[in-house]
Amino acid sequence: MTCPSCGESPEDTPTAPWRREVRLGLLEASLLALTALLIVLLVYALVAGLAIRGAQQSAESTRAAGISAEISVQLQRAATDISAGNRRLAAQRLAYVLTQTPGFPGLAATYRAIAVSPTPSATPSPSPTGTPTPTMSPQDALDEAQAAYQQEDWELAISKLRYVQVLDRYHRPEEVRQMLYDAYLNCGMDLLYSDQLGEALFYLDEAEKLRPLPTNAVEERDKAVRYLRALSYWGVDWGQAIQELEPLTYGTIGYRDVFARLIEAHVTYGDIWAEVEEWCPAAEQYAEAVRLMYDAEVEERRSEAALQCTSATPTPVPSIITDTVPGGLIAGLATGKLAYTVFNPINGLYDLMVVNAAAPVAVRYYSHVGQPSWRWDGGALIFKSWGEDGLLTMPADGGSAGYVLGFSAAYPSFSPDGARIA
């Protein structure tokens, strides 16, 4: 026991090491609890975001995921540092996390407790009675940051520079900002080249908050964003995955595994079309895969799908003749029929209209279409349908439309004999 009249503090008694160990254990438990809570919140946020966006992951959400991942990593490393007795590095990691999530419950108190307490040694010596433990000055922290910066230990430099800002944000601010920018930029580029894309995007975004990024960094970051977006569609929407991957092959065939992935995506997408006997789009996907790299098995699938495509009959789809629109004579339309599209403000789509010179009444044939073209005898129409994702044909008097060609075809026209379509 301590005698109140003896002038001794608890730190002067032999129980001081035990008390320090208890304090350290409480800090460890506190930080581990914070880590677990943050991970739960991150998982909740990611699940909620996915529920809203589905497979549509944008560049902004990719970058936010990088930030969340980095915060989680720093908290876990801080817990490890505390267990190893390295409180100073743990405090620097928590200082960084505080700059990203300043309102996180209990984190500021944990940081202060670690930052002002010395790291316990194996044989702690008594401290002078009543003397408070000194904290690191902003200049001392900046000196350590400069040492890490000179050694190109970018993550450590960032952590220490953030610590400087927590201690005193007005301490040589321009120098700290410039060093932070350089460290973020170099760390981000290093991580890009080591395939740690999520963390790399986080660091590059932090650098861009301070200064504009150089051109090469912007180009590499944009490619990484597109690549991650393609992966978000992988196995969910093959068409979108292909659209994201294709630009990465222009002049950058060696960019990561884009070339092999693009071939695989085309083949898989072709297989999906073939399973539902949509032979024309299947043949197109196989052809793209063979164009990138010849493969005998894929070429055989392409030939079979192309053969089935040429002999396939149009698939009937419902006709959408909904109403007629009265109107006056159309100037210049003295004979024949006119097919055209007009914007429908009710549904925001373009409707296919047909008007006969003999009866000045426009008939609405179809919706969400464009590019109409008559057969030479005026007996049939062909047009692009975005609703059915392909080309449709329809008799001149309306009736049922037929699906004749896949999603990539556009601006159709009949051959002079009406037997083929260009």
In tens, the pLDDT along 352-361 reads: 888 777 666 6
Question: Is 419 part of any domain?
Answer: no
Q: Count up the domains in the chain and report the number.
A: 3
For the chain, the farthest-separated pair of C-alpha atoms sits apart, in whole angstroms, at: 117
Band (76; pLDDT cuts 50, 70, 90): confident
Say whether both 55 and 197 belong to one domain.
yes
- The more confident residue out of 109 and 211 is 211
Domain-ending residue, one of 284, 311, 338: 311
Is 88 contained in some domain? yes
- The residue range of the domain holding 282 is 238-311
Assess whether 372 and 256 both reside in one domain: no
386 belongs to a structural domain: yes
* 271 lies in the same domain as 362: no
Choosing from 264, 281, 311, the residue where a domain stops is 311
Looking at 311, 344, 375, the residue that finishes a domain is 311
Asked if the structure places residue 107 within a domain, the reply is: yes
Are 163 and 79 in the same domain?
yes
Higher per-residue confidence, 286 vs 38? 286
Q: Verify that 289 and 398 share a domain, yes or no.
A: no
Residue 204 is classified by DSSP as: H
Q: What are phi and psi of 168, to 5 degrees?
A: -160, 100
In terms of DSSP H, where are the helices of 3-137?
A: 16-53, 59-83, 87-100, 107-116
**Same structural domain for residues 74 and 92?**
yes
Are 249 and 372 in the same domain?
A: no
Q: Which two tokens stand for residue 263?
A: 């071939």
* Residue 147 and residue 276 share a domain: no
| pLDDT tens digits, one per residue of 132-177 | 444 678 888 899 889 999 999 998 889 889 888 888 889 999 999 9
- The sheet with strand 337-344 has its strands ordered as 323-326, 359-367, 349-356, 337-344
Q: Return mean pLDDT, the chain.
A: 73
Cβ(297)–Cβ(277) below 8 Å? no
Residue 419 has pLDDT above 60, yes or no: yes
pLDDT band at 118 (very low <50, low <70, confident <90, very high): very low
Q: How far apart are the first and last CA of the chain?
A: 99
| 164 shares its domain with 75 | yes
Residues 27 and 158 in one domain: yes
* Residue appearing with tokens 């739960």: 40
Q: Residue 71's pLDDT is what?
A: 72
Label residue 312 left, alpha or beta by phi (over 0 means left) and psi (-120 to 50 means alpha). Answer: beta
Residue 369 is assigned to a structural domain of this protein: yes
Quote the pLDDT of residue 129: 39
Q: d(Cα 364, Cα 182) in Å, to the nearest integer? A: 62
Residue 410 belongs to some domain of the structure: no
Question: Same structural domain for residues 46 and 154?
Answer: yes
In a domain, 242, yes or no: yes
Instruction: Compute the chain's Rg from CA coordinates.
Output: 34
Give CA–CA dist 63/255, Å, rounded: 20
Is 182 within a domain? Answer: yes
Decide if 362 contacts 354 (C-beta within 8 A): yes
Percent of the chain with pLDDT over 90: 15
CB 187 within 8 A of CB 194: no
Same structural domain for residues 107 and 146? yes
